[in-house]
Chain A
Amino acid sequence: MTHKQVIALDVNNVSVAYGGGRLALRQASLQVQGGSVCGLVGMNGSGKSTLFKTVMGFLPPLRGTVQVFGQPVIRAQKAGLIAYVPQSEDVDWNFPVSVREVVMMGRQGKMGWLRRPNAVDETLVEESLERVGMSAFMNRQIGELSGGQRKRAFLARALAQEGRLLLLDEPFGGVDVGTSEAIIALMGELRREGRSMLVSTHDLGTLETFCDEVALIADRTVLLYGPTDEVLTADNLAATFGGRSPLHAQPSAKRVEVRP
């Protein structure tokens, strides 16, 4: 594929600290190739959220650089290249907005200064809703949806935005098996269109079905990233999850060589 030559996301040796001075990410490096899906795996508090926030430009790196399609984060955002799908816990589901309005928010950056949607925006919103199978629910208030429908609504927003790098924060959190499969199928389609994805997940079992690459995060840094089958070994997972791989029944004796 032609998209493979570009690097969608390049996190190079990045360290990040919160306001209080505590280091939240230490010399983390990670690349997502154009048109590929990268899984982000690690325990709670390992630095996954921090990495997301850094890629979104919320936390300026102390050292190192983050580039999206060869541009600094701010420029990539102005160009609408980065789409973000939040995890369910981060959304106020009582907020007085409808599904359609949420999806329209994906277009807002491209509207004029009065933020009036034009015909293109309307069409894209409808197509995006159609694509995730949410057209029938577009006038519902977002809190009236099931867990799976909520995810789909926000996926539709990312589609409407036409972002080229999608950040999905726990897309399988609190959804049923059917929705999981639908989301994985959709990610496959998007990948074939040449879009790149960074997906944080706890669901190790499905990683191999949709990830080209996997990055293991532990102790506030990226331990290792690379092709899924090479990274997802018992030893590597044991190192990530502190002792024993949740995927492999056999506990392993030797530990992985950890990147500096």
Chain B
Amino acid sequence: MTLEFLLEPLQYDFMTRALLVSALVGTVCAVLSCFVILKGWSLMGDAVSHAVLPGVVISYLLGLPFVIGAFFFGLVTVSAIGFIQSRSRVKEDTVIGVVFTALFALGLVMISKISSEVHLSHILFGDVLGIGDSELWQTVIAGTIALIVTLLLRKDLLLYVFDPTHARSIGLNTGVLNYVLLTMLALTIVTALQTVGVILVVAMLITPGATAYLLTDKFSKMLWIAVACGILSAVIGTYGSYFLDGATGACIVLVQSLFFLLAFIFAPKHGQLARRRQQMAERADELGEGGPPAAPRPVLTRVRASGKTEASD
């Protein structure tokens, strides 16, 4: 009976499609998220995802696939941010804020004035259950490209994120790597639009990576863990939304946040409980509880000759 109940959604074509699409989106976003959180680009991800709104509207007006307009505006956002930042004294996060809110507002005005037929809520919050054939293919193609390019270049991208100076010193073109990563970011956002919508895309782009980052110290493992989180939460979220009759994108994001919370508390090394245990152990050690009394610390008898070595240029 329970099994029947659980299998019920799979009778519907729209549910199987939604499950497959959201699993693919979960995978692509998870891979990108590992780079995004290590590079510190969370705000950039949020910015690009909001700023593609005018692109979606224009595509609709011109009868183009929405992927093209959205991707184009993603690149416009990234370039505009880079351009303004390099030519003014304003800090990067401020520039990002100014640019993306401007474009998002432009999108809202366009929707309200020009085309009342575009469903605002579908763009803002996603509508994976109602995904049409054309959107399905656009999502699959954009997602596959982003996934393949990122995975093929993962070693150079990782090196660029970790140590751009070294990357440059061994002859890698760091300028190109920077734009490749930004382009993949834009492409991934476009992929996820149909599933979770403009507002919540950023969660898909940071939460799986952040969860994995708490669980491992190896990048290769981090990728796998993030992908597992991404797929699981996509499937559970989509499934759950059927029974709850709630917004699918939001359900997926909630499951992801739950995974993060679990990792935050229970991660074996970087979790709260592990940290607490370690602190307690150190304290017990210091107070000499349950063991021989700690040896007295050697007293520093002379001050080291050379003074400040820490300061940097």
Contact = CB atoms under 8 A, between A and B. Distances in A.
Nearest to A109: B170
Contacts of B222: 96
A97 B313 contact: no
A82 B155 CA distance: 20
A202 B166 contact: no
B152 interface: yes
B235 to A, nearest CB: 26
B165 A205 contact: no
A92 to B, nearest CB: 7
Nearest to A157: B166
B312 A95 contact: no
Nearest to A50: B313
Interface in A58-113: 58, 74, 77-80, 82-84, 86-87, 89-92, 95-98, 101, 105-106, 108-110
A172 B304 CA distance: 14
A173 interface: yes
A105 B218 contact: no
Nearest to A246: B307
Contacts of A177: 304
A173 B219 contact: no
A68 B313 CA distance: 23
Nearest to A89: B312
A248 to B, nearest CB: 15
B308 interface: yes
Contact of B306 (A74, A89, A163, A205): A205
Interface in B288-313: 304-306, 308-313
A104 B164 CA distance: 15
Interface in A182-234: 200, 202-203, 205
B143 to A, nearest CB: 22
A173 B310 contact: yes
Interface in B100-132: none
A186 to B, nearest CB: 18
B137 interface: no
Interface in B164-195: 165-166, 168-172
Contacts of B228: none
Given A95-B38, A96-B217, A44 B311 contact: yes
Interface string A113-125: 0110000000000
B183 to A, nearest CB: 19
Interface residues of A, number: 52
A11 interface: no
B92 interface: no
Contacts of A82: 169
A80 B171 contact: yes
B120 to A, nearest CB: 39
Interface residues of B, number: 34
Interface in A146-199: 157, 161, 163, 167, 170, 172-175, 177
Contacts of A91: 163
Contacts of A44: 311-313
A42 B313 CA distance: 9
B268 to A, nearest CB: 13
A77 B169 contact: yes
A242 interface: no
A57 interface: yes
Contacts of A205: 305-306
A13 B172 CA distance: 27
B168 A49 contact: no
A237 B308 CA distance: 17
A96 B219 contact: yes
Interface string B143-174: 00000000010011011001101101111100
A56 B169 contact: yes
B311 A202 contact: yes
B308 A202 contact: yes
B89 interface: yes
29 contacts: A44-B311, A49-B313, A56-B165, A57-B168, A58-B168, A80-B171, A84-B166, A86-B165, A86-B166, A95-B38, A96-B38, A96-B213, A96-B218, A96-B221, A97-B218, A105-B163, A108-B155, A108-B159, A109-B170, A114-B152, A141-B217, A173-B309, A173-B311, A173-B312, A174-B310, A200-B313, A202-B308, A202-B309, A205-B306
Interface of B: 38, 86-87, 89, 152, 155-156, 158-159, 162-163, 165-166, 168-172, 213, 216-219, 221-222, 304-306, 308-313
Given A84-B169, A109-B172, 7 more contacts: A46-B313, A84-B165, A105-B163, A106-B170, A163-B169, A170-B312, A205-B305
